[in-house]
Amino acid sequence: MNEENLRQIEQLIGYKFSNRLLLSEALTHSSAVDNRLLSNERLEFLGDSILAVVVCKALYDRFPDYLEGDLTKIKSLLVSRRTCARVAKQLNLLEFLRIGKGMVGTKALVGSLAAGLLESIIAAIYLDGDFEAAQNFILRTFAPFIDHADAKQAHGNFKSLLQQYAQQQFNTTPVYTLLDEKGPDHDKCFEAEVVVAGRHFSSAWGTNKKEAEQKAAFNALVELGVIENTPQDRGD
């Protein structure tokens, strides 16, 4: 990889390497070399652990009232391969990844390979600089995901999120009401609404009561400004 490309990558990640060989190694997939020790696999292993430590500390500080189970759910989402791959794509790192010809155009390129690339970059920054340098990179690039961690808690458990928000902000618990149901017994749909501190929020339909309540909770969170009304947040 030429010097110009390495400089471009440093600009993308906001970190200047003293040893650019580490950066080059982080950008080399095992399919592109004969000896896997020359690839980013070892860096990926190290970066995965560094990412977990930084995210755990960030969540520990950010959510002092959350129990271990709640923190674990959010942490699992933030350090998942899917989230890591999204960060790598947002930073436009994939175009610099060295891969073998057989990997070009595969789904893995936008999934596990992208996630591994990000973890390798994290490890390279850590080895080139120090833990603080890697931590700063992680907190900066994962900031939007950490900011919306509540909206993703329990993989879209909007009822859980609404309950936590209502208790913290209004010292009350949401109340769900079944408004209507339609259809034959084998194919019913249900309409539910939620009331928080006397405020009624937009109702929602679902194929069962649980789904209707989850969607009603989502509507309430949107109207309260806790989360944005996007397909991603809805889980579409």
Considering the segment(s) 151-234 as one domain, its CATH architecture is 2-Layer Sandwich (3.30)
| 41 is annotated as an active-site residue | no
Q: What is the pLDDT of residues 58-89, one digit of tens each?
A: 999 988 878 888 788 788 878 888 889 889 99
Question: So what's the pLDDT on residue 107?
Answer: 52
pLDDT for residue 151: 45
Say what the pTM is: 0.64
48 is catalytic: yes
Please give the pLDDT value at position 154. Answer: 46
Which CATH class name applies to 3-147?
mainly alpha
pLDDT under 50 in the chain at which residues?
Answer: 151-152, 154-155, 231-236
Task: Write the DSSP assignment of the chain as a string of letters.
Answer: --HHHHHHHHHHHT---S-HHHHHHHTB-GGG-SSGGGSSHHHHHHHHHHHHHHHHHHHHHH-TT--HHHHHHHHHHHTSHHHHHHHHHHTT-GGG-B--GGGTT-GGGGTHHHHHHHHHHHHHHHHHS-HHHHHHHHHHHSHHHHHTHHHHHHHH-HHHHHHHHHHHHHS---EEEEEEEES-GGG-EEEEEEEETTEE---EEESSHHHHHHHHHHHHHHHTTSS---HHHHT-
**Which tens digit of pLDDT belongs to each residue from 108-136?**
556 788 899 999 999 999 999 999 999 99
Q: Which residue among 44, 119, 191, 233 is the active-site one?
A: 119
Domain extents in the chain: 3-147, 151-234
10, 25, 41, 48: the catalytic one is 48
